[in-house]
Amino acid sequence: MSNEHIVRSYSLELERLRTLVSQMGGLAEAQVEAAVSAVFRRDVEQANQVIGADQRVDGYEREIDAEAIRLLALRQPMGLDLREIIAALKIATDIERIGDYAANIAKRSIPLSQLPPVRPAQSVPRMGRLVQQIVKEVLDSYTAWDVTKAIAARARDNELDDLYTSLFRELLTHMMEDPRNITPCTHLLFIAKNLERIGDHATNIAETIHYVVVGTPITDARPKNDDSNFAVVTPPSEQPASGDNK
């Protein structure tokens, strides 16, 4: 980052590692986008493409692992370089998980496309767009080593959590209204959960970037707005009072 190593090939290798991580991130970003659009547009072919492309994400992870281990063994990195290589390993794992979730979303979009559309499906693209933005910003801050941007993106995870919690309630309500909605809504629930998890991994990446640049792990606990663990929705027929759960 700052200036060149005396051994130029060392810099080149680090640069290559960085490029691999960026490329992997770019691919995962595209996967998320494609998976979300597959859900929205009920496009089975696109879903299948996403599922197929997940192997490439895994391939990137293996390549990054190998490269990082090679650098660790041959260059005995210190200081910033050490942090960066370790970060590459961790970020690759996070991105791989993101890829997995994207593939998972794509998989669920296939049965979903064969079922009649349900209303809450309209909220999924909104959540998807937010996730895409967060992932994109985090990955951009990786290439630019921009801690501020990474931290800002990390903060947006709260919005995502809020969205998820509300979608969760909405889906529960739908399922209670009509048992025929249970199948599509469950799929949607998992999709929403996957998107929420992608956001968490993006948060991890942002924290890793902080560690690389600042040198210390981020200490403040991120405020979590994901209340879905505590959400209770009573069936509309038995609803005692209005709005107490909102």
**Residue closer to other proteins, measured from CB, 29 or 67:** 67
**Residue closer to other proteins, measured from CB, 11 or 48:** 11
**Residue closer to other proteins, measured from CB, 87 or 98:** 87
Q: What residues contact residue 245 under an 8 Å CB cut-off, 6+ apart? A: 169, 231, 232, 233, 234
CA distance 16 to 144: 15
Q: Smallest gap, in angstroms, from Cβ of residue 164 to other proteins?
A: 35
243: DSSP letter:
S
**Residue closer to other proteins, measured from CB, 214 or 231:** 214
CA distance 222 to 220: 6
Q: Smallest gap, in angstroms, from Cβ of residue 91 to other proteins?
A: 18
CA distance 157 to 162: 9
CA distance 182 to 179: 5
Q: Which amino acid is located at 165 in the chain?
A: T
**Residue closer to other proteins, measured from CB, 78 or 232:** 78
Q: Smallest gap, in angstroms, from Cβ of residue 6 to other proteins?
A: 5
Contact 107, 194 (CB under 8 A): no
3-state secondary structure of 245: coil
Place of tokens 């970060």: 87
Q: Name the site residues for other proteins (rule: CB under 8 A).
A: 2-7, 10, 76-83, 215-216
Place of tokens 């700052």: 2
**Residue closer to other proteins, measured from CB, 83 or 136:** 83
Q: Smallest gap, in angstroms, from Cβ of residue 5 to other proteins?
A: 5
Q: C-alpha angle 113/165/129, rounded to 5°? A: 55
Q: Smallest gap, in angstroms, from Cβ of residue 133 to other proteins?
A: 31
| Pair of tokens at residue 209 | 């970037």
**Residue closer to other proteins, measured from CB, 42 or 83:** 83
Q: Smallest gap, in angstroms, from Cβ of residue 140 to other proteins?
A: 24
CA atoms within 13 A on the CB side of 108: 25
Q: Smallest gap, in angstroms, from Cβ of residue 219 to other proteins?
A: 10
